[in-house]
Every structure is written in C-alpha cells, then in structure tokens.
Amino acid sequence: MINEILKHNDVFVNNGTFKSFASNKCPRKKLAILTCMDTRLVELLPAALGIHNGDVKLIKNAGGLILDTFDSTIRSLLIAVLEFGVKEIMVIGHTDCGAAVISSETIITHLIQRGIDMETIRRLKEETILSCLPM
C-alpha cells in the first residue's frame, strides 16, 4: 500500500497538482478544530463545515480528546494560538466513536497480546508516551 501511495505522490508532485493547494501557514478563518482521527471524517468533516485547505488548523487524535495538560494536543493548540493567529477553537466529536471509549486496560491488553512486556509499558508510561494510561 505504501508503494502505491508513494507512486501517486510522485505523479502529484511532478505534474504540479500540489500547486492548487498552496496556502499560508496561518489559517484564514483563525480557527483550530480538534476532532477524531476516524476515517469517516476525512472528507465528511470539511464538507460538512464548508472548510478548505488553508482555512483552519485541523488537529486529529484518537477520540478528539485532551488527556493531559501537557500532551501533544495541547502543544498543537498552543502553537496554533501563539504562533499562527488562531482566535477560536472548536472541539468536534462524532457518533459511534470507538477511540473515545476504549479503556486503558484494553489498550494494555492489546499491547501485551502483541508481545510488549509490562516493563516496556511502564517505561513508556514514565516517558509520557503512554502517560494517559493508569497503571
């Protein structure tokens, strides 16, 4: 799959298609949107909101959640406000969001099933990669 995507990107760049997407790093609408990474939202959300490339800072994560005061979502929002002129922030959820309701225990169980030992999980938690998971 990755090779197919890279081939498409090569054509996209070499024929100049990317030029029609040029925009400023500062969002025209001075808006940041935090939402879920759900695949159903890739085209649906911009269409539903009437937003286009360059209009907003679109921040996606599993569940569209802020789990910690110093997580990467907060960092992204702070940079959007402090460096890129964002004046408003929207948080948009969606129906049937599996990521928002998955428990920490389930995530840990899946990691263990994939061969990750508890010591590695503890170390990752201490290094804040998994700091949102209670132990």
Q: What was the pLDDT predicted at 71?
A: 85
**Shared domain check, 116 and 57:** no
Q: What was the pLDDT predicted at 13?
A: 97
Residue 47 DSSP one-character state: H
Residue 56 DSSP one-character state: E
Structure tokens given for 39: 């695949």
pLDDT tens sequence for the chain (135 residues): 999 999 999 999 999 999 999 999 999 999 999 999 999 999 999 999 999 999 999 999 999 999 888 789 999 999 999 999 999 999 999 999 998 788 888 989 999 999 999 999 888 877 755 555 555
In CATH, what number is assigned to the domain containing residue 69? 3.40.1050.10
> Is the residue at 6 inside a domain?
no
Provide the residue range defining the domain that includes 33. Answer: 23-97
**Shared domain check, 112 and 91:** no
Q: What CA–CA distance (Å, rounded) separates 52 from 93?
A: 19
Q: What was the pLDDT predicted at 28?
A: 98
**Shared domain check, 91 and 50:** yes
Pairing label, strands 56-61, 31-36: parallel
**Residue 6 CB partners (closer than 8 Å, separation 6+):** none
